[in-house]
Amino acid sequence: MKLHTLPCTILLFLLLFFYGILSSAQSVRKNDVIIRRDSSRIQALITQMTYEKINYRDLSTADSARKYIYLEQVAKVLLKNGKTVNVRDSVMAVHTPPDTIGQYADLSNLPQDPFEKSIVMANSDQLRDKYRYHHDKAANNRNGAIVFTSFAAASLVAGLVIISTGEDHDDKIFGTSLAVAGPIAGGVLALVTFRNFAIHSSRARKARNELERRNQPLTFMRISPAFDPFNKLARLSVRFSL
């Protein structure tokens, strides 16, 4: 099939349009970044942040080895959802032990659904981990749904333009194929990602609601006083656990 200038131009525009949407949807970081106090960086997948250390998988190793780093060695954490956590400058906060697994559960009346059962049996730190995981998954699938829906719409418009302005029969066939195949493929993928978005959004909401039922914060913050005897300075130290 010989393509004329107009269909090729429209196809090029469609590809550039799709690439632009995909790039903007992927503006969220691909992984977490731990910035040490010496400004060196660790490309990581954080699994837990506690009152004294960060547990993570080191993505610079072949097997993504499990490691940890103490907070006093950390200056800043860049989370893959776009948030930034600035770590305090000194002195350990007083340790507050987490609640225990199953502490808030009615063991005689546990939910039948496996996920809901895991929610009521989890301690609050585990609930925060669940919330963050499903919240991030929901955001990724929402972006995917936007990309594929936009691709479907752009394919339809481009195909109709080619059909109406094409110079010969080959142009009409190409435009028809684009107007039909593009929306079908984009629509199917958009439905899949939207379904996943709904599932993960619902699970993140359940984890958040359970934390609220326990009067536990979604973002855990500890404030403790600190005193520097060398500089004769007093300050408040703040720690966040997401």
Chain segment 162-214, per-residue pLDDT in tens: 888 877 888 888 889 888 998 999 999 999 999 999 999 999 999 999 888 88
User: What is the pLDDT confidence band of residue 88, given thresholds at 50, 70 and 90?
Assistant: low
Could you tell me what percent of the chain has a pLDDT over 70? 73
All domains in the chain, ordered by first residue: 5-28+97-236 (no CATH), 29-80 (2.30.30.100)
Between CA 181 and CA 139 the distance in angstroms is 27
Is residue 120 within 8 Å of residue 110, measured between CB atoms?
A: yes
| 80 vs 82: CA distance, rounded Å | 5
Task: Give the pLDDT band (50/70/90) at residue 219.
Answer: low
CA torsion angle for 72, 225, 129, 81 (degrees, to 10)? -70
pLDDT digits (tens, 9 = 90+) for 92-114: 444 445 667 777 777 778 888 88
pLDDT of residue 239: 47
Q: Are 189 and 149 in contact (CB under 8 A)?
A: no
Average pLDDT, the chain: 77
Position with higher pLDDT, 103 vs 136: 136
The answer to whether 109 and 223 have CB atoms below 8 angstroms apart is no
- CA dist 184 and 175 (Å) reads 14
Which pLDDT value is given to residue 241? Answer: 47
Residue 202: the pLDDT is 94
How far is it, in rounded angstroms, from Cα 240 to Cα 83?
Answer: 12
**What tens digit of pLDDT does each residue of 40-58 get?**
999 998 888 776 788 898 9
For residue 14, the model assigns a pLDDT of 61
pLDDT at 64: 82
Place of tokens 């719409």: 153
pLDDT of residue 95: 44
> Which pLDDT score is estimated for 21?
58
